[in-house]
Amino acid sequence: MDVIEVMDELEQLGKERIKKRYLKEGAKEPLFGVATGDMKPLKKMIKKNQMLANELYSTGNYDAMYFAGVIADPKIMTRNEFEQWINHAYFYMISDYVVAVTLSESPLVYDIADDWINSEDELTQSAGWHAYCWLIGHKKDDLLDIDRLKSLLYKASDNIHDQLYRVQVAMSYFISCVGISCEPLHELAVRIATELGEIHVTKSSGEEVILNPLASIEKAKEKNRIGFIRRYVRC
Angle between helices 50-57 and 3-13 (to 10 degrees): 60
Same domain, 149 and 195: yes
Q: Could you tell me if 67 and 100 lie in one domain? A: no
The answer to whether residues 118 and 214 belong to one domain is yes
Closest to 37 in 3D by CA, of 63, 61, 56, 58:
63
Beta strands in the chain (DSSP E): 199-202, 208-211
With a cut of 70, say whether residue 30 has pLDDT above it.
yes
pLDDT one-digit tens code per residue, 125-152: 999 999 999 999 889 999 999 999 999 9
On whether residue 156 sits in a domain, the answer given is yes
pLDDT class of 231 with cuts at 50, 70, 90: low
Average pLDDT of the residues of the chain: 95
Tell me: do 229 and 132 sit in the same domain.
Answer: yes
Kindly report, residue by residue over 102-127, the tens digit of the pLDDT. Answer: 999 999 999 999 999 999 999 999 99
Can you tell me the mean pLDDT for 41-63?
Answer: 97
Whether residue 95 contacts residue 86, with contact meaning beta carbons closer than 8 Å, is answered with yes
pLDDT at 232: 57
Higher pLDDT, 227 or 57: 57
In a domain, 81, yes or no: no
The answer, yes or no, to whether residue 235 has pLDDT greater than 70, is no
| pLDDT score for 18 | 97
In a domain, 118, yes or no: yes
Question: What digits encode the pLDDT tens for the residues 156-205?
Answer: 999 999 999 999 999 999 999 999 999 999 999 999 999 999 999 998 88
Residues of the chain with pLDDT > 90, as a percent, come to: 93
Q: How many domains does the chain have?
A: 2
Question: What is the span of the domain harbouring residue 18?
Answer: 1-73
Choose the final residue of a domain: 40, 73, 106: 73
